[in-house]
A and B are shown apart, each in its own frame.
Chain A
Amino acid sequence: MSRFNSTEIAMALQAKTNHRRIQALGLVAVAISLAGCHTDMWRQPKTQPLDASEFYVDGQVSRPLVPGTIARDHLREDEPYFTGAANAKWVDTIPHTVDKEFLKRGQERFNIYCTPCHGRLGDGKGMIATRGYQLRRPVASYHNDRLRNMPVGYFYDVITNGYGAMYSYASRVEPEDRWAIVAYIRALQLSQHANPSDADGKALASAELTPSPTSALRDERVVTR
């Protein structure tokens, strides 16, 4: 004989079903709230510069120009301006207005891209040159007759296409900035080859270009560090 009557068994079964329902509801609630934790807005199915690609062979999403095409505004018809040469000769005037702004821009760009090797004075004693460039020919100094007499187009060409161990800087320095750097190189050549008689005291006092630290100072600092 059972110790429970039928009503009690029915109630127990009912309680069990209720318990299951609550569990199921709880699971649904957890599932719904977890569904809120999605990351598809954080990482959207789009590509951004420098992303990796599984589609292209070279693994990059950024594509090089299709051969034979020209990007908008990149038609380079002005040969002297974009190559530094005309009729197979280096141009000897800078195809841009050279004013103080332009020289300052050139100084800034020169200090970024050229000083590691050529030094702030253009004497070829930059940090990289003094720290380990083991070349048969040392880094060029601009302060010799060969380069002082070289047309400006030559410097532009070297920045664009590289020379000797120097790589091309075309991808890093834009054409206008290259000419600005050329202008500043000329200024450096003048400043490092000047006699006190070339400038009156007044002009010297009002010179506003940031004074370049001397190589001697810099070399000393390398040693003491």
Chain B
Amino acid sequence: MAQIFKPSANSITQVGLLSVAIGVPTLWLGIAGLSRSPANTKVQVPKNQPVPFSHQHHTWELGIDCRYCHTSVEKSSYAGLPATETCMSCHSQIWTNSPLLEPIRQSYETGMPIQWNLVNKVPDFVHFNHSIHVDRGINCNTCHGAVNQMHITYKGNSFQMAWCLQCHRAPERYLYKDDSASGKGLTPRQQVFNVYWKLQEFGPANLNDQEKDLVRGDYNGAQPWEQDKIAAGKKLVSEYGVKVQQLADCSVCHY
């Protein structure tokens, strides 16, 4: 009977074992990395829209408040997209013959809404509510990134569950107070929008650490070594009545 294993079997086994040892983790890490990369999450990938609306122009250059267009952000789970009427409040007078705004004018004449392409979405089994986040002083940019710098709107964060849980497990890392004169006496909700006004009036240099990070779009909350910020955040958690005990329960978002 012929030998079952030829001498080359040794090498084949070694190479085989080695490639399994390297290949499996590589594949695993690769899939994990890919699912977290912009290729999958679309973070910082500008999305084409029927009208090239620039948040940078309207909020930073013109200083229009978020709520001028997103009227229901303080009282509803949905922030709300502006009706064509809202665009026309100014654009019936400004840029009236711009070809870029043709879809707006058409929509206003025909009553057919503009079909914007959704930038931020969560699965249907997740219930997200804007109003409670705003009411507890979570700034728009905390989740949406530096909207004030976006020419074409893109997603600021992945909105994957692990990302949500960073804050839901430790809200004290993300809450902060505006201690400057203009933040005096403001409710957490008012403080959220006050940042943009301060940026307009006094420039980025006059913002505090957290606010600077927010308007730059790299706000990651207080880090473990920033104990003073975490302590301040803990005070706010109790002051604002954030129910930490149940914040990371499944049923908070999945119901």
Q: Chain A interface: which of B83-91, B153-161, B221-229? A: B83-91
Name the CB-closest residue of A to B96: A134
Q: B240 contacts the other chain (Cβ, under 8 Å)?
A: no
A interface: dominant SS = loop
Query: Which of B90, B112, B123 contacts A116 (CB under 8 A)?
Result: B90
A210: contacting residue among B61, B94, B182, CB under 8 A? B182
Residues A46-89 near B (CB distance < 8 A)? 46, 48-50, 52, 58-60
Known: A49-B78, A58-B111. Is A172-B62 also a contact (CB below 8 A)? Answer: no
A-B contact pairs, 11 of them (CB 8 A): A43-B124, A46-B124, A50-B81, A112-B65, A132-B93, A132-B95, A133-B90, A165-B92, A166-B89, A167-B92, A171-B83
Residue contact A128 to B81, C-beta cutoff 8 Å: no
Give chain B residues whose Cβ lies under 8 Å from the Cβ of A168. 85
Out of B88, B94, B95, which one reaches A167, CB within 8 Å? B88
| A196 within 8 Å of B (CB atoms) | no
Q: Mark A134-154, 1 if CB is under 8 A from B, else 0.
A: 110000000000000000000
Q: Which residues of A contact B182 (CB under 8 A)?
A: 210
* Docked pose: A130 CA to B250 CA in angstroms: 51
Pairwise interchain contact A59-B115, C-beta atoms closer than 8 A: yes
Indicate whether A208 reaches chain B with its CB closer than 8 angstroms.
Answer: yes
A52 & B124 in contact (Cβ 8 Å cutoff): no
> What are the residues of chain A within 8 A of B83 when measuring CB–CB?
171
B93/A165 in contact, CB under 8 A:
yes
A31 to B88, CA, bound (A): 52
Against A, the Cβ 8 Å flags (1 = close, 0 = not) of B55-97 are 0000001111101100100000010110101101110111100
Chain A residues numbered 160-217 whose CB sits less than 8 Å from any CB in chain B: 165-168, 171-172, 208, 210, 213
Interface size class of A (residues with CB under 8 A): 35 or more
Q: Which residues of B contact A59 (CB under 8 A)?
A: 112-113, 115
Give complex CA distance A112, B124 in Å: 32
Q: How far is the CA of A134 from the CA of B94 in the complex (A)?
A: 7
Nearest chain B CB to A51 CB, angstrom units: 10
Let me know if A58 and B85 touch, CB within 8 A. Answer: no
Interface residues in B184-216 (C-beta closer than 8 Å to A): 185, 190, 197, 201
From A44, A112, A135, A225, name the one whose CB has the most chain B CB atoms within 10 angstroms: A112
A41:B125 contact, CB within 8 angstroms: yes
**Contact count A vs B, C-beta below 8 Å:** 75
Does A127 count as interface, using CB distance less than 8 angstroms?
A: yes
From B71, B86, B90, A128 is in contact (CB under 8 Å) with: B90
Q: Does A38 contact B (CB under 8 A)?
A: no
* B67: min CB distance to chain A, Å: 5
**For B115, what are the chain A residues with a Cβ–Cβ distance below 8 Å?**
52, 59
Query: How far is A165 from B161 in the complex, measured between Cα atoms in Å?
Result: 46
CB-based contact B124/A44 at 8 Å: yes
Q: Interface 1/0s, chain A 105-136, versus B by CB < 8 A?
A: 00010011100110000000001100111110
Pick from A50, A58, A213: contact of B112, CB below 8 A: A58
- How long is the Cα–Cα vector from A43 to B86 in the complex, in angstroms? 29
Tell me the minimal C-beta distance from B158 to chain A in angstroms: 15
Q: Return the chain B residue nearest A225 by Cβ.
A: B61
Contact call A172/B71, Cβ cutoff below 8 A: yes
Is the Cβ of B90 less than 8 Å from the Cβ of A112? no
A132 to B113, CA, bound (A): 26
Q: A59-B112, A131-B62, A135-B93 are in contact. Are A208 and B185 (CB under 8 A)?
A: yes
Report B-chain residues with C-beta under 8 Å of the C-beta of A46.
Answer: 124
Given known pairs A59-B113, A135-B93, A210-B182, the reply for A172 and B86 (CB within 8 Å) is yes
Q: Tell whether, in the assembled complex, residue A60 and residue B64 are in contact, meaning their CB atoms are under 8 Å apart.
A: no
Which residue of the partner chain A has the closest CB to B63? A127
- CB 8 Å contact bits of B93-106 with A (1 = contact, 0 = none): 11100000000000
